[in-house]
Amino acid sequence: MKFIKAKEVTYEYIRRDDDGNVEGINRAVDNVSLDVKEGDFITILGSNGSGKSTFAKHLNAILHPTEGSVWVNGMDTKEEDKTLAIRQSTGMVFQNPDNQIIGQVVEEDVAFGPENMGVKTEEIWERVEEALKTVGMTEYRKYSPNKLSGGQKQRISIAGVLAMHPKCIVLDEPTAMLDPSGRKEVIRALRALNEVEGITIILITHYMEEAIYSDKIFVMNKGQIVMEGNPKEIFSRVEELEEYKLEVPQITRLAYELKKKGFNLPDGILTEDELINAIKGL
């Protein structure tokens, strides 16, 4: 089943001068069409200014397309009376955990979403408990969020979204400000949500290594989708990615360079295990 459908979506930022006259139009998203199946793990890659974040904001009705349409869980985001239902089904997590955490205590923060949805108190606590357990943060429920590391804070942000029982979570560079172990924690939590709970994940990132577990990758450039495929297909196209100011994971690059030197390695090696096996087979 298609959970998200975007049809010929275009979004323009309009710059105006002090008198309100149009000074310039910046087309951030340009005729994008894509489908996301329920339960998929999707990664969107693209350089700064390629339109990824602008597009992502269409997925829970923060922005509405200038042209074209977006359907989330069968609902057209243009219909205002659907906005709340859309935001419950698709939650968003942003880059900076400090801008998203509002509670004084971890469990209060996680309870904020369901509380605003009018969920009964007892059920709120059940949801908080379950959400914290899912991201592996139960033992920190009574902590002040200030005392947590970046990775832990991001997992609390994710728990806050989870407590609203979404079907899909969109994450806009959730690991950009984290150290290596924090990055791993967050990615591990996302994979578990996807595999165990079946939640659709849409991840935007600048770290290529984080994309290798996805079912499908979309690459954006200048507002358009320019590449689409599974990680192996995408990361086999090293030179094309570089044109779009991207790169391939270090391991993939290593395999690619060795191949250029004449070693008989397969295309699109993504993980250390794959590389080691391929080298042992030489």
Partner 1 sequence: MPIVTDHLTLVYGEKTNLKTIALNDVSVKIDDGQFIGLIGHTGSGKTTFLQLISGLIKPKEGTVYLDGEDIFDRNFDTRVLRSKVGIVFQYPEHQLFEETVFKDVCFGPSNLGLEKKEVELRAYEALKMVGLDDNAFYQSPFDLSGGQKRRVAIAGVLAMKPKVMILDEPTAGLDPAGRKEILGLISKLQKEQNITIILVSHSMEDVAEYVERIIVINKGKIALDGTPKEVFGHSEELKSFGLALPQVTDAMIRLKNQGINVSTDVITINEAVQELSRVLR
Judged by beta carbon, residue 8 or residue 242, the one nearer partner 1 is 242
Judged by beta carbon, residue 51 or residue 166, the one nearer partner 1 is 51
Judged by beta carbon, residue 237 or residue 253, the one nearer partner 1 is 253
Binding site for partner 1 (CB under 8 A): 46-50, 95, 149-151, 173, 176-183, 206, 208-209, 242, 245-247, 249-251, 253-254, 257-258, 261, 263, 272, 275-276, 279-280, 282
Burial category of 138 from C-beta neighbours within 10 Å (exposed 0-12, middle 13-18, buried 19 and up): middle
Burial category of 125 from C-beta neighbours within 10 Å (exposed 0-12, middle 13-18, buried 19 and up): middle
Spatial distance between the Cα atoms of 148 and 137, rounded to a whole number of angstroms: 10
Judged by beta carbon, residue 40 or residue 173, the one nearer partner 1 is 173
Instruction: Write down the least CB distance from residue 73 to partner 1, Å.
Output: 30
Instruction: Write down the least CB distance from residue 112 to partner 1, Å.
Output: 24
Q: What SS3 state is found at 30?
A: strand
Provide long-range contacts, Cβ within 8 A and 24+ apart, for 193-197.
193/134, 193/158, 193/162, 193/169, 194/39, 194/41, 197/134
Spatial distance between the Cα atoms of 117 and 165, rounded to a whole number of angstroms: 11
Residue 13 and residue 28 in contact, taking contact as beta carbons nearer than 8 Å: yes
Instruction: Write down the least CB distance from residue 278 to partner 1, Å.
Output: 11
The dihedral built from the CA positions of residue 12, 9, 244 and 36, taken in this order, carries a sign that is positive
Judged by beta carbon, residue 124 or residue 208, the one nearer partner 1 is 208
Instruction: Write down the least CB distance from residue 127 to partner 1, Å.
Output: 28
Instruction: Write down the least CB distance from residue 15 to partner 1, Å.
Output: 9
Pairing of strands 90-93, 168-172: parallel
Judged by beta carbon, residue 176 or residue 192, the one nearer partner 1 is 176
Instruction: Write down the least CB distance from residue 44 to partner 1, Å.
Output: 12
